[in-house]
Amino acid sequence: MTMSPSVIWLIAGIVLCMMEIVLPTAFVEFVMGISALIVAFVALSVPQVSLQVMLWLVLSVLLVVLSRRFIPQRRSRLIEDSHEARTLTSIPPGETGRVIYEGNSWQARCEDENLAIAADQKVVVVERRGTTLIVLPEHLVSR
């Protein structure tokens, strides 16, 4: 038993839309599924599979690009400048130590690589680089 291209596109569209629920991809799979559903209806009148695939690719790209304009972008939670923290360990010059910031222990490095910071000192978070906070001793930061 052979299935018509319309039925295959219909199944592919449904599977792609359902996969978005299981494997979230910021609606990319969903949009590709919608494109496949549109192609399923077009396939009823356009029998060339190569044209159907080309249409699906073009529709998928266009809909993904258009959906980016309407779906709000996730903003990563960045550390705002000039927040206080407290050193848990000393921070030797040019090396890392640990600070407590917002109730969590973070790896930290002094912005001035020639400066050491003792343990249990107030510091100001001036930047975040990956999972490392860049800090300065509180007395060096003018507020």
Kindly provide the residue ranges of all beta strands, DSSP E only, lying in 45-131, ordered along the sequence: 83-87, 96-101, 104-110, 122-129
CA distances from 96 to 41, 59, 105, 114, 140 (A): 60, 50, 13, 12, 19
Cα 52 from Cα 69, distance rounded (Å): 26
- Only one residue has tokens 């599924």, namely 33
Residue 28 CA from chain centroid, whole number: 14
Q: What is the pLDDT of residue 80?
A: 54
Q: What is the pLDDT of residue 78?
A: 46
The pair of structure tokens assigned to 52 is: 């159907």
The type of residue at 123 is V
Instruction: Kindly give the parts of the chain with pLDDT less than 70.
Output: 71-82, 142-143
Which of 71, 63, 68, 67 is closest to 13 using CA atoms? 63
Q: What is the pLDDT of residue 68?
A: 82
Q: What is the pLDDT of residue 128?
A: 87
pTM confidence score: 0.52
Which of 12, 108, 25 is closest to 53 using CA atoms? 12
Q: What is the pLDDT of residue 76?
A: 44
